[in-house]
Each structure stands twice: as structure tokens, then as C-alpha cells.
Amino acid sequence: MDKITIIVPCYNEEEVIEMFYPAVQSHVKNIPNCTFNYVFVNDGSRDSTIDKLRELAEKYDDVTYISLSRNFGKESAMMAGIDYSEGDAVIIMDADLQHPPEVIADMVKYWREGYDDICGKRVDRAGETWLKRNLANLFYAIMKKFSTSYEMQRDVGDFRLLDRRCIEALKLMRENQRFTKGLFTWVGYHKKEIPFEVKPRAAGSTTWNYFALFNLAMKGMTSFTTLPLRLMTFLGIAVSCGAIAYMVFVLIMALLYGDPVAGYPTLMTVMLFLGGTQLLALGIIGEYVGQIFYESKRRPIYLVDEINGQRMIYEGVLRPMERNTKNSK
Ligand code: UDP
Ligand code: MG
């Protein structure tokens, strides 16, 4: 009998949680020789998500919820779920039912065939705006060029089934600035992509705006390649060579013809160009220094407030608190 844990990060999902459990359960109960359990991670929701989760955990034995001490972001919430999963494999799914549960049967099938990381691949990005689609294309194109050691999977999100050995590998990577999509790729093992159509959100609204997506893309680039730094070095060398050549040219013109050469416009152009490149280079270095800044603190990726009504405390390891007066069931 295989045991699979379904991990569901939830942030302000009060409207969908009640729909989620029966929708998924109706599909997974027909999969033979397999038991499923659910780990919902409440990522510091500001609505009544936690109450819905309490109700669900009360009602069903196969539901566990982990409530984080505040909103840590989806990447951290997924890690919390991964840390507390016990199954031979885990499936990560969004709470909003955009990930079709009917795909799970195929995922399990491929897993049994020996694949370790079976990921859902979006076949259309129809629900997304033209701009979002094209920005995504640009991101993948840049990542493909930049990351030399491996290729980032295209249109593949967090919806996937992971074998225990992928999970154990992910647990080794305690970096703070998590770009999970890249981490999945980094881990390697045998991958299989299953096409699926992204459904519209069942209810509620997305928390990803363009700014958040841009930040995620920056994180992806700075945590997986140092090629931008290298490019800046090349640019520096090219500009310096150009400057020397121009200097020689100006000198010769002045010596031979006494020609003062074009003054103000040339100066302005060169100054602005150099100023611009220097700022750009500094910005890029800054991004990497920022990464070092966050990683060097070695803070935990998330903090747990409670698990199934039990208040938790970190004392070297995470353990239940003895005094459990608040929030207890
Ligand atoms: N999510 C989370 N923490 C956050 C933001 C989102 O756990 O800070 C969860 C959210 O509840 C959902 C999943 O991540 O289950 C995907 O979020 P969303 O649907 O907003 O993103 P989209 O589907 O638009 O990419
Ligand atoms: Mg969604």
C-alpha cells in the first residue's frame, strides 16, 4: 500500500477550502493500492482560512493542518508541507482548484513506473494576459541562455508529484531565498511532464501581481546563475577597449590636425553611457549582495504556530508546547 501526502499551501482561501477536499477526494479514492493524506499549510491568512481548516481536520482523519506564524510566501509554505509530509511521495497542489485533480491518477501511474518527479505542464496560458504570457516567455528564454548547468523546465509550475528521494533532497536545501521551481530542476532524478489545462480560480483572487512576479523572476535568476555578473565584466572590458581606441583617435586628430574634435555632445554621450552601465553593474552586484545578506542570517524558512490545534515551539527542534491553553480543540 503506497502512502501519498497532498500538500496544499493556503493563503486567504476561505472560499475554496470546503470545495477542495471533496473535489480531490472524489478523484483519488478510486486510485488502487494507495492511501492519501492531506497537509494544508495556512500561510498566515488574514481571513477565516484557519477556521475552515480546523473544521476540516475535525471532520476527516486524513487531514492535518500546519499554521505558520505569519505570511511567509508560497515557497516557504510548500517547504513547511514538505518537512511534515510522511508519505512515500507527495503531491503539491494549489488550494484554488486551478490544478485539476483528475491528473493525479496519471501522476501516480508514472510514479509507479519509476519516475521521481512528475510535473504538470500548462498547455495553454489562456487565462493570462498577453503581457504576462510574453513576460513569462522572456523569463524562460533568459534562464535558458543563462543557466549553463541545467535547463529550467518550461511552463511547469509547482503542481507535481515528488518521490521521497526528491523530498529528502529538497529538505537539504535550507536556503532562505527559495526559488522552488529551480530547486526541483536542480535536484534532477527522473522527470516526466504531464500536460494539463489551467482552470480558472474556483473562487477568491490571485495574490500574484506583476511586481511579485518580477521579484520572483529576479530571485530565480540571482539564485541560479552568476552569468549576469560575468556579462557585466565583458561589457566593462568592451567599453574600456572602446575608450582606449577613442582616446588614441582623439590624440592623433589633435596632434595631426589640431582638430579639437566634437566637444560637448561626445562628452555628454560618453558620460551618460558610462554612468548608465556603472549603475546597471552596481545594481546587478547589489542583487547578489542582497542574496548573500539574506542567506548569511541563516534564519529559518518559516515558523510554525500550531499543528492541528497544538501550539508549537522551537527549542532546537520543533515540538509541541506543554501549556496549550489557546487555540486548542
Ligand atoms: N499562496 C500561499 N502563500 C502566499 C501566496 C499564495 O500559500 O503568500 C498559495 C495560494 O493559497 C494558492 C497557491 O499559493 O494555493 C497559488 O496562489 P495563487 O492562486 O494566488 O497564484 P496563481 O495561481 O495565480 O499563480
Ligand atoms: Mg491560483
Q: Ligand 1: which residue has its CA nearest to atom 21?
A: 206
Percentage of residues of the chain with pLDDT beyond 90: 17
Strand order in the sheet with 310-315: 191-196, 117-122, 156-163, 89-92, 2-10, 34-42, 63-68, 304-307, 310-315, 317-320
Identify the H or E element spanning 60.
Answer: none
Q: What Cα–Cα distance (Å) separates residue 273 from each residue in 170, 242, 279, 283?
A: 43, 12, 10, 15
Which residue has a Cα nearest atom 12 of ligand 1? 94
**Nearest alpha carbon, ligand 1 atom 2:** 74
pLDDT tens digits along 60-102? 888 999 999 999 988 899 999 999 888 899 999 998 888 888 8
- Give percent of the chain above pLDDT 70: 91
Tell me the CA–centroid distance for residue 224 and ligand 1, in Å: 23
Ligand nearest to the CA of 9: 1
In this structure, which ligand is nearest to the CA of 14? 1
pLDDT of residue 149: 57
pLDDT of residue 10: 92
Give yes or no for a contact between 191 and 153, defined as CB atoms under 8 angstroms apart.
yes
> Among the atoms of ligand 1, which is closest to the Cα of residue 11?
11
Instruction: Provide residues with CB under 6 Å of ligand 1.
Output: 9-11, 13, 43, 71, 73-74, 77, 94-96, 98, 206-208
Residues 114-137 have pLDDT tens digits of 899 998 888 876 666 777 778 877
